[in-house]
Amino acid sequence: MHNDYLSELFSDADIPMFMLDTSGVITHWNAAIAKLLDVDSSDFTGIPIDTALHSIKNISIREPINVSTLLRLELSELNLLHKGESARPEKLKITCHAGPDEQHILCIGHHITQQEEFSQPQKNLQKQYQEFIKTTSAPVFVIDEQGTIIEWNAAMEDATGHKESSAQTKNLIDHFTRGNETIRLRKILDQAAQGIFMPFFDLVLLTKSGKNVRLKANVYPRYNLQSESTDIVCISQQQAVQKSESLKAIQTDKLATLGEMATSVAHELNQPLNVIRMAAGNTLKRMDKLPMEANYLRDKLKRISEQTERAATIINHMRMFGRNADEAPAPIQPKLAIHGALGLIGEQLRLAEINVLVETIDTPLWVKGHQIQLEQVLINLLTNARDAINSNTTGEKRILIKLDATDDHARITLEDNGGGIDTIAIDRLFEPFFTTKEMGLGTGLGLSVSYGIIQEMGGSIDATNVNKSACFTILLPLLLIT
């Protein structure tokens, strides 16, 4: 929980609450949850949720905890049995909600058999929640199951230009969406009304001036003490803010990649420098033998010039790769991005004795984006393939890159013979900070950043296992260039 507006809500809440990060580790634990579970107020921060609950003697877990399922919000609650001093065991329930920062899960605990004990804390939490909606800098609104707006905070006023007084009692879908967005949002809200959490989807609303405002939204139902859905809450973030954070992640990943490639690039630069040194040295020796032959001198100077250009090309490519992509997306050729990526990491692959095969079609393919960012995606995939091959392959080491086209997409596939991807990990590959590598060998950002780049280009990226080989497929919408 890194957002200030949630920190205050959490620390002041009388209702039992704790937070999990994306790895299932408890990041925050308040005194009320300790009281509910009848344990001392010792802090469980930093302990995995399953370890923490299994360590409490008076608590039995009614079904196994599947942390990965819980984190994907496929399981919305944990049911526990409290074996305290009471005459009969008490049922406890912990409900889980997606955090608005996309990095945490909020867990709230309460009795089922003795809910009346928590009526006042529930009221206090409701009051704090309403205060949070009013004061947070995140755009937040609340609607009923028919889509009628109940609450509309100041940040929503800033984002849309619609004042709360004019927005309240209006139907969100009828008055703030149009076209395909109306149909799409109606489906999302119908699912939320059925108790299905809808995290991290794109929400497009009409502003007062008639323009579109894009938000990244989390929608989930809110319940009363009888576990009845009362309304739907939407906590969102403007795309411009999210875009800024995405660009920071992209730049962080690029700089990490540059650092990893330093040895390879140094080797690449040494080759033209050695040629220049030898050409200059031979020329100096020849100068002692007069007269100097013009053709000999011309040949050596031409070689020096060519190698200088080669070194400059390597340096300029590194400089371009490392800078921010501030310009607007433009038509680019995936084929050039493939060659550019191999120009930066190819020496590493050669030193690792990995044979890289490239198969491309002759027809030029055009897509919209940033070539440097597409190179970054390919370098991330090539780096992961290299690491997998080095760890798991004893015979021939091979990477195959193909570029072809479907009816309306350019398709890039990258396949390696590094043993494939663990079936447990394959569904989480593109999550931020998730890595299958040993501690210190991976940031867990590469594939997450790659996913964001491809999505920003309007495309898709997915991973599969093919004959014990990992295969990544990138699809990018084709542009018609005349």
- Taking the CA atoms of residue 442, residue 444, residue 447 and residue 453 in that order, the dihedral angle to the nearest 10 degrees is -120
**Side chain identity at residue 227, one-letter code:** S
State the Cα–Cα distance between residues 109 and 148, nearest whole angstrom: 29
The sheet carrying 460-466 orders its strands as 355-360, 398-405, 409-416, 469-477, 460-466
User: Structure tokens of 249?
Assistant: 């992640």
Question: Half-sphere exposure of residue 471, counting CA atoms within 13 Å on the CB side?
Answer: 12
Domains 1-135 and 137-239 in one fold: yes
**pLDDT, position 400:** 94
Q: Residue 95 in contact with residue 108, Cβ under 8 Å?
A: yes
State the Cα–Cα distance between residues 25 and 46, nearest whole angstrom: 6
Superfamily for the 1-135 domain: PAS domain (3.30.450.20)
Strands 212-223 and 198-206: antiparallel
**pLDDT, position 264:** 58
**pLDDT, position 478:** 93
| Cβ-Cβ contacts under 8 Å for 235 (sequence gap 6 or more) | 100, 138, 139, 140, 217, 218
**pLDDT, position 163:** 92
Q: Which fold has domain 137-239?
A: Beta-Lactamase (3.30.450)
- Taking the CA atoms of residue 366, residue 369, residue 375 and residue 379 in that order, the dihedral angle to the nearest 10 degrees is -120
What is the DSSP-derived secondary structure letter of residue 353? T
**Side chain identity at residue 162, one-letter code:** H
State the Cα–Cα distance between residues 389 and 396, nearest whole angstrom: 9
Q: Exposed (0-12), middle (13-18) or buried (19+): which is 68, by Cβ within 10 Å?
A: middle
Give the chain's end-to-end CA distance (angstroms, integer): 51
Residue with tokens 């550019």: 340
**pLDDT, position 472:** 93
Partners of 460 in the β-ladder:
475
Model pTM score: 0.44
Listed by start position, the domains of the chain span 1-135, 137-239, 261-323, 329-482
What is the residue-level pLDDT of the chain in tens, covering all 482 positions? 445 555 665 666 677 788 888 778 888 888 777 777 777 756 688 888 878 877 776 677 656 666 666 655 555 566 666 655 554 456 667 777 766 566 677 777 766 554 444 455 555 656 666 777 777 778 889 898 888 999 899 989 988 999 999 998 899 999 998 877 788 888 888 887 776 666 667 788 888 888 888 887 877 777 665 556 678 888 877 654 444 455 555 555 555 565 555 655 666 677 777 778 877 777 777 777 666 777 877 887 888 887 787 777 667 666 665 555 556 788 999 999 999 888 878 878 888 899 999 999 988 999 998 888 898 889 889 988 998 898 877 788 999 999 999 888 999 999 999 888 877 677 667 765 556 655 445 555 677 778 778 878 888 888 888 887 889 999 999 998 76
CATH class for the domain made up of 261-323: mainly alpha
Q: Considering just the CA atoms, what is the radius of gyration of the chain in Å? A: 29
Superfamily for the 329-482 domain: Histidine kinase-like ATPase, C-terminal domain (3.30.565.10)
Of 95, 163, 140, the residue nearest 5 (C-alpha) = 140
Q: How far is CA 308 from CA 273, 282, 302, 341, in A?
A: 8, 17, 10, 21
